[in-house]
Chains A and B, each alone.
Chain A
Amino acid sequence: MGEMEQLRKEAESLKDQITAARKAVQDSTLQEAAAGITVVGRIQMKTRKTLRGHLAKIYAMHWSTDSKLCVSASQDGKLIVWDSVTTNKVNAIPLKSSWVMTCAYAPSGNLVACGGLDNMCSIYNLKGKDGNVKVMRELAAHTGYLSCCRFISDTEIITSSGDCTCILWDIETGTQKTVFAGHQGDCMSLAVAPDFKCFISGACDFTAKLWDIREGTCRQTFGGHESDVNAIGFFPNGNAVITGSDDATLKLFDLRADQELITYQDSSIMCGVTSLAPSLSGRLLLAGYDDFNVNIWDMLKAERVGKYMWKLYIPLENGRKVDPAEDSEGSCRVAAGTEH
């Protein structure tokens, strides 16, 4: 027992030293740094497109890199690829399991993936020879639901799961290459870095972790949230992680300073963040909340500059399919955001 007590004390003391080291580099606050900038003027949002066709809750959607196509997954058991400009359905893919919770579009535009309570990530080839969209791979190894998946290329995909791990898969062989374990709660979302060398995950243990894809290790852990981290994304320059949580705040963690630098909160906001997306320049942050609103934050001033209220519902709006309990608004907005 004596040994364990010693170890515990040592672990604790190291943690304190880390806290002190972090504090030591806190030589400025956001207010000071951004004092010279004016707040962005009020932003108004309008519905531009409505994509209709799903028959049940839409749990997730993801834009293609061309900003025109997007894929959405609904619990009516369908994965639909939309041409958002014409609002036509390009593909309607029937799923084996209707309990889908996430979907992703490959950067190449050739593949889409989805998964959910079946604990699997299913990959579909959109550009098959005979024109039919078929299941290409079923990646099964997780022991919990699939909460998020993101392609790195046509050959690699990363998934996050309710079993508290993330996995990097080789799509070609359908096998898992690396398991990223360390979170102590369900992993809810993930985002890949712009340089594809690492990725971040947010989990129900209130933390976000930065993982090295090649090494399979956790490089950094960011705590500070007081509830589940539901949404996560990179600041466009790849130097910071933005997280959205059930504690009604969003936080920006700088990778180089190894700590939280900015919190986006407002006393009038009492419900959790379900999704987020920064604009192309990183000046604006769009965040979707549980009360069906989207708040637009000035990232450098930490002030709200706009709000899009769904009023009562959020079936399909602005190319954004949001289910009351779920999200995707932000991610849709960003591509929508990067283009306008």
Chain B
Amino acid sequence: MTINTLAKGGLHREQMSCFRKMEKVIVAMQDPDMGMKMRNQRLLITVIPHAMTGQDVITWLIQKYHISEEEALHLGEMLVRYGYIYPLKEPRCLVLRPDESPYRFQTPYFWTSTRWPATELDYAIHLAKKNIRKQGELMEYEKERYSQLHKRINHTWDFVVMQAREQLRASKQRRKADRIVLECQEQAYWLINRPPPGVQNMLDWALERPNNFSTQVPLNSDYYKSEIETSRRALGRNRVKSSVCLEGFIKYSEQYQNHDPIMQGCLPSNPWISDDIAYWTMNSEIVPVPTRLRVERWSFRFMELLSDAMGRREFMTYLEKEFSAENLHFWQACEEIRHGESSKIVEKVEDVYKNFLAPGAARWVNIDSKTMDKTLEGIKWPHRFVMDDAQMHIYFLMKKDSYPRYLKSDLYKNMLAKAVVPQETKKSVFPFMRRQRHSSPSPAQASAQAAEEDGRAGTNSAAGSHF
């Protein structure tokens, strides 16, 4: 099953689903009982029926969906920008003003999703009508497009003009109020589907991504030879049983569950909820006393210890007691070569050689002879990865030997004992604290509200469950 996001001749599926959602809101707004109260609006000397003010729209949205004013304004603006509601005053300005400015619902006939795609023919007729109705009414960009269309669909131009005249004639027979309304509706439709230059095209979507891989690669013998080469290598690889792998993920998740703020919350409080950044401050790179969770993590795996600046510092202290600190110094120096500036590589490699690898070096590291030979050879042409093998050797040395002993040492145990477990800050009860922002319950979830929050592992209180 391949999902084709572009329905034949239709809107991209993702946009269509959004339009459907917007249309639901619009229909709800026009519901005779629960919808908006509409009234007659005066536009100059004409009275337009069934109109509402911007403020009405916002108020209704706030009440219906239990959202904040900010969100309602945004939502309302989207409805305007996609053409479901249009402004009566300043029709070219597609914004929702939260005041007495009058707006009207676009008729479903002119919904973008209904008349998709907007055709050149229709656009030509629209412009022709404007042109005929009042000479010079077309804006500059409209004039340009009009003449472009005239060239492009010249063969049907008679039809265009005829249609335009017919539609104008028919509209003259309507009441003035209706005529204005229809003109506004049509104009609003075209402002969305053929936006003026400089205005963002709401119907714009991302790049086309052609999959032309079938045409790109020539299937010749070279291609097959390289495929065979790759496959042979791939076949030779060691594959671990899926049970072992899955077990690995499960174990990892269990081990880290307490350290995962989404799962267990974080102490003293979640900064995003409480606006208190103590959690981050307590866990910054260097602190006087680290948190207990952090020190615990050092025991999970060697890389956890090494990638934490404080962990490295502690480990270094331990190694110094054991007279094997040169290993960690060496490892760190190799890291700097790996990730540092290219221009400094030569200089750094030389330093490392002098301090760690040369016979009689001050901090000589114990590498097996094979690796040492290879490294010394490689140093002649220094590059970023020249120390990789030696670094890996020392890494494993520390991991197998010093690291397990460190975890059993008094140094580590003391660190763990004096590590701080932050107090959970009590939720403030002052009524004038920062206003809580709630996301409104989405329509689809309304029915599913019932089955919530059961079976949550671990804490279910303040810090972690709602975020």
Contact = CB atoms under 8 A, between A and B. Distances in A.
Contacts of B209: 162, 185-186, 188, 204, 228
A220 interface: yes
Interface in B140-155: none
Q: How extensive is the interface on chain A, given as a class?
A: 35 or more
Interface stretch (A88-96, A124-132, A134-142, A231-239): A231-239
B213 A258 contact: no
Contact of B457 (A27, A41, A48, A185): A41
B3 A270 contact: yes
B277 A85 contact: yes
B273 interface: yes
B253 interface: yes
A284 B257 CA distance: 10
Interface in B293-342: 303, 338-342
Per CB-CB distance, the 7 closest pairs between chain A and chain B, nearest first, are: A41-B456, A28-B243, A184-B213, A281-B260, A281-B256, A14-B231, A33-B246
B466 A44 contact: yes
B253 A205 contact: no
B252 A67 contact: no
A162 B212 CA distance: 12
Nearest to B251: A237
B339 A152 contact: yes
Contacts of B228: 7, 10-11, 14
A155 B250 CA distance: 36
Contacts of A38: 455, 457
A339 to B, nearest CB: 5
25 contacts: A4-B221, A11-B227, A11-B231, A14-B227, A14-B228, A14-B235, A24-B239, A42-B453, A66-B280, A184-B216, A186-B209, A271-B5, A272-B14, A279-B262, A283-B260, A290-B14, A291-B17, A312-B21, A312-B25, A315-B74, A325-B14, A337-B261, A339-B270, A340-B272, A340-B464
A152 B220 CA distance: 37
A117 B367 CA distance: 49
A37 B244 CA distance: 16
Contacts of B256: 236, 280-282
A270 B3 CA distance: 8
Contacts of A309: 442, 444-445
Residue of A227, A272, A283 ringed by the most chain B CB atoms within 10 A = A283
A291 B241 CA distance: 37
A259 B239 CA distance: 9
A199 interface: no
